[in-house]
């Protein structure tokens, strides 16, 4: 999403490849180490979030946001006001009353497709939907995390032709730069205690997982392997990171329809294990999808028809 080439490819795929595949909404249970497909559709959808009350998931599809009821197994559109081109960076506030969304919003007279990623900004809406409140005035900005106290959002933004990680208060008053290395920094997310921010970065020369303190200090690399590692999501108890790993290095890109693994990083003993492999990538687990009890998480896999 952060590369113009990848956006063009994804737009073409959404019209061609994704019309020939099935998207599966899956839940992985850490206790039984089992996968369960709870919903499938040939209409492309991405990036599930689990609601803080544990009752439903949300995901984006065709520029809109949907609620998926875990009991009835049905989906329902969540109104987002004038915004009709949401991307896959969205998630709940800690108290469950709001949803942060990222959406493309080009000027009405722009000679650009509505999906143009360079216009992405961050907004918040009530959990039941409604007219969005603008948070980031600068574009592009892509939401990724909410501080545990609900006061701060962290996001990836392109400023001065480079993608870095920023924090902004929930009222949208001031953004603060947290990383400034050349190359892509992405996927920031707070630890449950708010002390750290986990993210992925090209700082070492390839995409690996990193951690820094919430103020942007004390950056440390967590992974160093043959995979291309993206989107670390801390478990609610702070013990694990679940993240997506491309089996072949993708540079600074994270395309869909690739061979990927979901890997579990134990922060207590620094061990990593692969828990499943499938066809996925962009849209699989861009945002946190842990269940509130930390025993399960949701993700999207793809299969060719």
Q: What are phi and psi of 158, to 5 degrees?
A: -95, 115
Convert the pLDDT of each residue in 124-173 to its tens digit. 999 999 999 999 999 999 999 999 999 999 999 999 889 999 999 999 99
What residues of the chain score a pLDDT lower than 70? 1-19, 106-115
Domains, the chain, ranges and CATH? 4-304 (2.120.10.30)
Instruction: Note the pLDDT of residue 173.
Output: 95
- Radius of gyration in angstroms for the set of CA atoms belonging to the chain, rounded to a whole number: 18
Instruction: Note the pLDDT of residue 3.
Output: 42
Give the SS3 label for residue 291.
coil
Instruction: Note the pLDDT of residue 264.
Output: 98
Q: What is the DSSP string of 252-296?
A: T---SSEEEEEEEEETTTTEEEEEEEEEE-TTTSSS--B-TTSSE
Helix, strand and coil in the chain, % to nearest 5: 5, 50, 45
Q: What is the DSSP letter of 290?
A: B
User: How far is Cα 56 from Cα 67, in angstroms, rounded to an integer?
Assistant: 7
User: How far is Cα 211 from Cα 238, in angstroms, rounded to an integer?
Assistant: 13
Instruction: Note the pLDDT of residue 252.
Output: 96
Nearest-5° Cα angle at 274, 268 to 279: 140
Give the SS3 label for residue 188.
strand
Instruction: Note the pLDDT of residue 6.
Output: 41
Q: Which residues contact 253 (CB under 8 A, 6 or more apart)?
A: 3, 5, 6
CB of 165 within 8 A of CB of 178?
Answer: yes
């Amino acid at each position: 999403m952060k590369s113009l080439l990848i956006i063009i490819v994804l737009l073409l795929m959404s019209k061609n490849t994704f019309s020939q595949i099935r998207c599966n909404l899956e839940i992985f249970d850490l206790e039984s180490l089992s996968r369960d497909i709870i919903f499938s559709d040939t209409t492309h959808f991405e990036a599930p979030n689990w609601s803080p009350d544990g009752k439903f998931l949300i995901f984006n599809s065709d520029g809109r946001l949907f609620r998926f009821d875990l009991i009835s197994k049905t989906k329902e559109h969540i109104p987002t006001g004038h915004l009709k081109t949401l991307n896959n960076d969205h998630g709940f506030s800690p108290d469950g009353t709001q949803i942060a969304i990222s959406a493309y919003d080009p000027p009405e007279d722009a000679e650009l497709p509505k999906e143009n990623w360079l216009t992405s900004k961050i907004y918040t809406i009530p959990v039941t939907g409604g007219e969005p409140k603008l948070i980031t005035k600068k574009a592009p900005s892509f939401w990724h995390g909410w501080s545990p106290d609900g006061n701060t959002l962290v996001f990836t933004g392109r400023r001065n032709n480079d993608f870095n990680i920023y924090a902004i208060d929930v009222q949208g008053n001031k953004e603060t730069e947290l990383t400034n290395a050349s190359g892509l920094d992405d996927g920031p997310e707070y630890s449950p205690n708010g002390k750290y921010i986990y993210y992925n970065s090209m700082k070492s020369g390839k995409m690996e997982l990193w951690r820094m303190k919430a103020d942007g200090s004390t950056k440390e690399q967590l992974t160093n392997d043959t995979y291309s590692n993206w989107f670390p999501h801390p478990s609610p108890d702070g013990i694990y990171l679940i993240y997506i790993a491309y089996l072949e290095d993708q540079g600074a890109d994270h395309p869909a329809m690739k061979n990927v693994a979901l890997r579990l990083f134990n922060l207590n003993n620094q061990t990593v294990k692969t828990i499943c492999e499938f066809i996925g990538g962009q849209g699989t687990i861009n945002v946190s999808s842990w269940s509130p009890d930390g025993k399960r998480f949701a993700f999207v896999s793809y299969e060719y028809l």
